[in-house]
Structures are given as structure tokens and as C-alpha cells.
């Protein structure tokens, strides 16, 4: 945390200096920055530059001025003088300032300090399309360069839903081609509404996340575009957004982060669903032990793969897993389900996620769907909220399940060993309970070993939570009731015995 904060301060001082710094301070003051993404910790020092004097941000709750023009400007990379901010431009996911260097007369677009722009602010020369990328970031720079080079005039389909009169408009742009980034930006909407209930939040969101927009947002603008096209640049969309925002003399832009912040998120407010009730673990285990596997076909639980699949997927550098690898995952999931069913005969084992429902026993609840819409995705999330355990390969698809399920087991492929924690939304709880409830295993774990881990979670959770809760000693109560602890423990053990017998 200390390192992240220091690095983020250094990073934000690069271009937007005091705007970014004040913004960060507001987030820190509000307790929002506990989980800052670690990626920027490796930002090279040459990213740092002089700090121009800039006006403070507009809002008190992590907002900056957007319309009629953002505050101050970054430094011209040729002339090393602060540029003039002349306006703003939003051709899709990108939130940009229109900048002019008075010395060399070059015109630029510059990322505003929201989303990845908070960590990797880039400059684009409008005449040449050249991107100035002092942080050396890859994906964020290539999206800018490629989208500008292939920009289109046609506007994306935008559905506008205004829920009430708007007096103090604040726009939050949650567009992003990466599901996890879009989701975590959208989650910031809750933080803004908590920090400043007086603002009228307009949430710009991909259609597939529309169902998660907070009910107290003032307006919802949803873009109907496949996720993998959300990085594109549309001048028509920029014109449409400008036309709509120009209805107000001033508009603020809500800060977003592309990673989960440390501030607690209420899963019920986020999804409309109650999380799994831990106090009913034993009772529900007696009725139907419920386990859900979250299926992905682009990132597989391979188990111990056959050499031929490894050869196909890695040595030959195929962009997608081989059909054999997918079939291998099906066999692993089937073996996992069968092994657990031996131990828990009333097991409700389900599979959710994008994919063709096939290859699993009829008793498995197979909710997989290809190109699933909002209804199917809501059904997947609803199932995870009543699951004792959700299992899946590490990825942003695990964010919402982790906020809702009783327990999570993440399978980590070798390429993602440094991403542990990125895909979890977890409630505040004693650290040792957390270690029990949220497990990371390498993705080469066998079905039998994974079944043993899941069985331990199912059979031991209430006792473990009691044992690891940190307040089981209750030393001061012992003189009055010396046998209270043994009674509570015996009750828990007896309950669990009933559930698993």
C-alpha cells in the first residue's frame, strides 16, 4: 500500500500533476485507494517530468472539470512548456483533453486522469497520429494509436435513459474492451454516489453491464457494441456525447480506476443479490451442497495436460486453445463433479460461462451459453450467490462471483501467477478467515486434489470461520461461563456431522 501510493503519486505527477495528486488525495482521504493496481509500480522513472501548476479539481468527491474545458494542460514533449487546454473529446472509451502548444502550435489529444489515463497518460499528435508514451505502456498506447488511425465517422448505437432531472451533471465513462476494467470503472459509480449524494451521475456503460448501473444514478447511456470493439474511436459518438453534454453549462468527469479499490463494496447494492449467508452454511449443506464451476474457453483449467495439447497450445504458439484442450477441460470438470458427488451425494454441481453446453453428465446443471445475453449472465450470477463454493480459472469473470459466493477457489495458469488478488471483490473480514475462504491453486491441479480442497471447504467452513475469527478466546468471559467455548464448538461439530452424513 505504501509503495503503491508513493508510485502513484510519482506517476500522476508526470502530466496532470496537481489534478492527479489532489484526486488521489481525495480518494485516499475517502479510504478508496487501499487496492490500487500494482501494475504501475513498475513504471519507469523516465515517465516523471516537471509538474506544471494546475487548478485544483472541480468536485469534492473525486471529480474533475470536463465541460466547457478541463483544467490546465500537460507539457509539450517538444517544447517542454505547459499546453493550453481548449476543450475535451470523447470518441468512445477515451476521455481526452484537446490541447494546443503555444510554442510550436502543435495540436494534441491528451488522456484525462481517469481510468488507465490516471496511470498512463498519453499524448496523441493530431496531425500525425504519433503517440507519445513515456511510461512505455503497451495495450493502452496501441489502442489509442490504432483507434485513431482507423477512426470512423459513424456513431455507436447509444441508448439514453434519463431517470430524473439533472442539475449537477457528472459523467462516468465505464467503456472498456476488457470486461474487468469496465466492471471496476462502473463500481466507482457507487463510490461517487456515496461520497457525494448531491451529484447527478450520468453513467456511460457498455450494454452488457447496464443491469449493474446503480439505481440512484441520474441517467444511463448504454453503448450497444461487442466488448472487443469498445476500444474503437468514433467521431460520430464524440459529436453525440458533446451535443448531449452541451445542454449544461458545466459538466464534471468522475474519476474511475481500472482496478478494484480498497473501499468495501456492498454486494447487494452492486448486484441486487444477497451474498451467500455464511451462517446458513451447515443447513444449506444438509439440503444441497452447491458448487459452481465458471467455464472459460480462452483460459483453461488444464489439469495435468497431455503433451500433445501442450505442444499445440504453447510450443506452436496457437492463439486459441486446441479443441483437444477444451475436451480435456470437460473431462477434468466431469471428474471433479463425480469425485465430489461420492462424498456429497446430494451435490448440486453447476457449470456457467460462455461455451456450448455439452459433454457433462445429465445430473450436472449446465447453464453454459454461447453469446449469452443479460438474462443468461444474470442467471449465472444468481447461481453463484447461492453457491457454497465457486471455482474458476483466474480472471475478471470471477469478480462478481467472489463478492457473492460463500467461498472461491481460483486456478492460476503460469502466465497469471503475478495476478493473484486482481480478480476478487472480498468483504472486510478477519485475515485468517479470508485465507480460508479464498484459495489460489495452480491451474495444473488435478481433479482429485481440487475435489479434496472443495470437500474440505464444504465440510469445515463453519468450524474454520469460528476458529479463525479472532474472537474465539473470549478470555474475559471464562470466569462466568467456563464451558461456553466447548459448547459452541460441540454444537458446530454436531451440525457439520449432520450435514455431511
Is residue 164 within 8 Å of 212, Cβ to Cβ? no
CA atoms within 13 A on the CB side of 357: 16
Provide the pairing of β-strand 219-223 with 348-353.
Answer: unpaired
Return the number of other C-beta atoms located less than 10 Å from residue 137's C-beta.
20
Query: How far is Cα 322 from Cα 299, in angstroms, rounded to an integer?
Result: 11
Q: For Zn ion, which is the closer residue by CB, 104 or 448?
A: 104
Q: For Zn ion, which is the closer residue by CB, 104 or 159?
A: 104
Ordered alpha helix ranges (H), 154-220: 179-195
The three-state secondary structure class of 268 is: helix
- Quote the least distance from Cβ 76 to Zn ion, whole Å: 3
Site for Zn ion in 246-305 (CB under 5 A): none
Query: How far is Cα 100 from Cα 176, in angstroms, rounded to an integer?
Result: 27
Q: For Zn ion, which is the closer residue by CB, 78 or 139?
A: 78
Is residue 390 within 8 Å of 383, Cβ to Cβ? no
- Quote the least distance from Cβ 230 to Zn ion, whole Å: 32
- Assigned C-alpha cell, 48: 516523471
φ, ψ at 354 (rounded to 5°): -80, 125
Residue from 3, 78, 80, 442 binding Zn ion (CB under 5 A): 78
Q: For Zn ion, which is the closer residue by CB, 100 or 191?
A: 100
Q: For Zn ion, which is the closer residue by CB, 126 or 299?
A: 126
Tell me the window of 73-81, 180-188, 351-359, 443-451 that interacts with Zn ion (CB under 5 A).
73-81
Q: Using the 8-state DSSP alphabet, how is residue 107 labeled?
A: E
Residue from 58, 79, 178, 468 binding Zn ion (CB under 5 A): 79
- Quote the least distance from Cβ 123 to Zn ion, whole Å: 11
Return the number of other C-beta atoms located less than 10 Å from residue 263's C-beta.
19
Tell me the window of 45-53, 79-87, 242-250, 362-370 that interacts with Zn ion (CB under 5 A).
79-87
The three-state secondary structure class of 250 is: coil
Strands ordered across the beta sheet of 131-132: 84-89, 96-100, 107-111, 123-125, 131-132
Q: Residues 401-440: x/- map of binding to Zn ion (CB under 5 A)?
A: ----------------------------------------
Residue from 40, 75, 76, 218 binding Zn ion (CB under 5 A): 76
Q: For Zn ion, which is the closer residue by CB, 101 or 465?
A: 101
- Quote the least distance from Cβ 97 to Zn ion, whole Å: 15
The three-state secondary structure class of 301 is: coil
Q: For Zn ion, which is the closer residue by CB, 83 or 282?
A: 83
Residue 160 backbone zone (phi > 0: left; psi -120 to 50: alpha; other: beta): beta
The count of chain residues that interact with Zn ion, using the rule CB under 5 A, is 6
- Quote the least distance from Cβ 101 to Zn ion, whole Å: 3
Q: For Zn ion, which is the closer residue by CB, 14 or 231?
A: 14
Query: How far is Cα 461 from Cα 147, in angstroms, rounded to an integer?
Result: 49
- Quote the least distance from Cβ 108 to Zn ion, whole Å: 9
Is residue 9 within 8 Å of 22, Cβ to Cβ? no
- Quote the least distance from Cβ 79 to Zn ion, whole Å: 3
Q: For Zn ion, which is the closer residue by CB, 79 or 453?
A: 79
Q: For Zn ion, which is the closer residue by CB, 104 or 488?
A: 104
Taking CB under 5 A as the rule, does residue 75 contact Zn ion? Answer: no
Q: Residues 91-120: x/- map of binding to Zn ion (CB under 5 A)?
A: ----------x-xx----------------
Tell me the window of 78-86, 127-135, 140-148, 442-450 that interacts with Zn ion (CB under 5 A).
78-86
- Quote the least distance from Cβ 17 to Zn ion, whole Å: 18
Hey, which bits of 156-277 come out as E strands?
158-162, 169-173, 200-206, 219-223, 251-254
Task: Tell me the CA distances in angstroms from 339 to 284, 408, 446, 455, one per residue in order.
Answer: 20, 18, 11, 10
- Quote the least distance from Cβ 130 to Zn ion, whole Å: 13
Judged by the rule CB under 5 A, the positions of this chain that interact with Zn ion are 76, 78-79, 101, 103-104
Amino acid at each position: 500500500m505504501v509503495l503503491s501510493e508513493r508510485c502513484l503519486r510519482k506517476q500522476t505527477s508526470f502530466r496532470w500533476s496537481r489534478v492527479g495528486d489532489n484526486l488521489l488525495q481525495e480518494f485516499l482521504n475517502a479510504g478508496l485507494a487501499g487496492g490500487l493496481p500494482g501494475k504501475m509500480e513498475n513504471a519507469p522513472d523516465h515517465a516523471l517530468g516537471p509538474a506544471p501548476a494546475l487548478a485544483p479539481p472541480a468536485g469534492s468527491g473525486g471529480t474533475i472539470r470536463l465541460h466547457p474545458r478541463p483544467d490546465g494542460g500537460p507539457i509539450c514533449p517538444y517544447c517542454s512548456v505547459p499546453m493550453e487546454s481548449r476543450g475535451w473529446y470523447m470518441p468512445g472509451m477515451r476521455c481526452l483533453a484537446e490541447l494546443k502548444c503555444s510554442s510550436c502550435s502543435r495540436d494534441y489529444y491528451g488522456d484525462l486522469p481517469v481510468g488507465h489515463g490516471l496511470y498512463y497518460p498519453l499524448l496523441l499528435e493530431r496531425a500525425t497520429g504519433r503517440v507519445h508514451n513515456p511510461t512505455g505502456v503497451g495495450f493502452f498506447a496501441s489502442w489509442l494509436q490504432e483507434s485513431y488511425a482507423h477512426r470512423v465517422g459513424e456513431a455507436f448505437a447509444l441508448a439514453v435513459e434519463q431517470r430524473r432531472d439533472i442539475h449537477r451533471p457528472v459523467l462516468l465513462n465505464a467503456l472498456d474492451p476488457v470486461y474487468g476494467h469496465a466492471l471496476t470503472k462502473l463500481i466507482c459509480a457507487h463510490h461517487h454516489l456515496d461520497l457525494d449524494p448531491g451529484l447527478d451521475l450520468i453513467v456511460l456503460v457498455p450494454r452488457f453491464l447496464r443491469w449493474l448501473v446503480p439505481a440512484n444514478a441520474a441517467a444511463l447511456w448504454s453503448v450497444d457494441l461487442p466488448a472487443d470493439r469498445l476500444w474503437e474511436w468514433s467521431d460520430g459518438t464524440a459529436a453525440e456525447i458533446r451535443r448531449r453534454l452541451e445542454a449544461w453549462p458545466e459538466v464534471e468527469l468522475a474519476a474511475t480506476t481500472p482496478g478494484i479499490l480498497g473501499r468495501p463494496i456492498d454486494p447487494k447494492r452492486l448486484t441486487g443479490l444477497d451474498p451467500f449467508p455464511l451462517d446458513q452454511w451447515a443447513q444449506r449443506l444438509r439440503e444441497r451442497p452447491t458448487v459452481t464451476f465458471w467455464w472459460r474457453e480462452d483460459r483453461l483449467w488444464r489439469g495435468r495436460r497431455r503433451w500433445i495439447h501442450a505442444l499445440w497450445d504453447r510450443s506452436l504458439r496457437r492463439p486459441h486453445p486446441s479443441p483437444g484442450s477444451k475436451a480435456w477441460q470437460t473431462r477434468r470438470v466431469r471428474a471433479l463433479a463425480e469425485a465430489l458427488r461420492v462424498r456429497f451425494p446430494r451435490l448440486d454441481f453447476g457449470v456457467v460461462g460462455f461455451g456450448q453446453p455439452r459433454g457433462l453428465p445429465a445430473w450436472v446443471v449446465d447453464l453454459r451459453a454461447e453469446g449469452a445475453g443479460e438474462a443468461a449472465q444474470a442467471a449465472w450470477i444468481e447461481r453463484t450467490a447461492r453457491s457454497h463454493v465457486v471455482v474458476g480459472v483466474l480472471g475478471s469473470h470471477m469478480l462478481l462471483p467472489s463478492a457473492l459466493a460463500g467461498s472461491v477457489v481460483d486456478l492460476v495458469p503460469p502466465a497469471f501467477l503475478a495476478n493473484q488478488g486482481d480478480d476478487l471483490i472480498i468483504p472486510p473480514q478477519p485475515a485468517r478467515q479470508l485465507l480460508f475462504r479464498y484459495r489460489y491453486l495452480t491451474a495444473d491441479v488435478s481433479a482429485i486434489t481440487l475435489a479434496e480442497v472443495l470437500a474440505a471447504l464444504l465440510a469445515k467452513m463453519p468450524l474454520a470461520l469460528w476458529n479463525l475469527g479472532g474472537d474465539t478466546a473470549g478470555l474475559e468471559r471464562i470466569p462466568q461461563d467456563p464451558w461456553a467455548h466447548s459448547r459452541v464448538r460441540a454444537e458446530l461439530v454436531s451440525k457439520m456431522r449432520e450435514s455431511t452424513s
